[in-house]
Chains A and B, each alone.
Chain A
């Protein structure tokens, strides 16, 4: 079972349907006891960074996610959710993230649309894909398993053991997004 955390940032129904199409059971919830019972948790959101960070603090999701990390549950951040997993995000103020990934994100030129993205074929089984991005902050270090270019190279996906950060939106990237999400869940460590 996969829990999609409802941060109130976007409608996560499409991600739920995507996961269901991949054969996973997924629930949309902000209830701690429900999330804690799941094998994996997904944080997703778009655009409203400050609201996302506030929602995490308000619902005390940060301590829940950290405890799930200790239990080696799979943790996936998508878009703003990927920022939330990092140490900090800076845009009109400094927001402290959950800190599972040792990165500090700084807002830069906004990007929205499909970008040609280079993939680590060992991880994703393909060399490149067109993936959909919609945000204004990226990890400008290129050490992940997928990189794209927009006013400089940036990391599109980073997977470390049971934690994955995807700065593209699989739910808007067509069939390739579907495959990428499946491969990410397959290659991640942790309870399955």
Chain B
């Protein structure tokens, strides 16, 4: 039997507070609710890039890791190995480079060498160009074209020894597009590492199409403590190998 397909909620963190449904929440409490509801991991995405925001994120990771006994992933404003090490010391299981990995790929290798591959991963924001079958990598909160082909970049980071790659695909205007995301995952020439789809996914059929395309996990901001049980039950009924009977 292969490993279970995972449903991972994404929590947006700003100044150490979780932002969900237009309201602020205590991060550890929201993460704990998701944990008790059957999440297969938690992604904490820091959108506050100030020094204070990053310091608050360290505390947030520490609080969540003390209550949530699941793989804990961290992304957003990751600059260097020293910062990665602090997150790992606070309890993160995996830390995702994004823009700074694209600008300075040697940082990815440095982190893998110093911390081990299981802690280092990369998230790739890309857009599909109009009238072309090409996906371009975007950086700086997915606003600036980095001038790299997404497929080549994903295969490149895979060769640098990271644990996995998380991809988010938008249309040329910057809105998440699930069909494009599935197309890109299908197009990838079998990188030797797991590929995770990150998007605003909520419908059961979208989860199924992502898993059918080869995604190991779907990371979504739309997953809440209220809907995760329903989603996993539906997936289970559709024959998807998910961690279900425990919840």
Contacts and interface: CB of A to CB of B under 8 A. Distances in A.
Contacts of B2: 150
A11 B118 contact: no
B246 A176 contact: yes
B4 A150 contact: no
Contacts of B69: 14, 18, 170-175, 177-178
Contacts of B51: none
Interface in A135-178: 149-150, 170-178
Contacts of B36: 175
Interface stretch (A32-40, A62-70, A86-94, A109-117): A109-117
A175 B38 CA distance: 10
B90 A130 contact: no
B91 A130 contact: no
A74 to B, nearest CB: 21
A17 B163 CA distance: 25
Contacts of B93: 172
Interface residues of B, number: 30
A6 B1 CA distance: 33
A174 B228 CA distance: 15
Nearest to A9: B116
Nearest to B39: A174
B4 A46 contact: no
Given A115-B1, A116-B1, 15 more contacts: A11-B91, A13-B66, A13-B89, A13-B90, A17-B66, A17-B67, A47-B116, A47-B119, A111-B3, A114-B40, A114-B243, A128-B245, A133-B3, A150-B3, A172-B93
A187 interface: no
Contacts of B71: 132, 172
Interface in B92-119: 93, 116-119
Contacts of B40: 114
Contacts of B194: 112
B3 A47 contact: no
Contacts of B185: none
Nearest to A173: B69
21 contacts: A11-B65, A11-B89, A11-B90, A11-B91, A13-B62, A13-B90, A14-B65, A14-B69, A17-B67, A46-B118, A112-B194, A114-B3, A114-B6, A116-B1, A130-B4, A130-B246, A132-B70, A133-B3, A150-B2, A172-B69, A172-B70
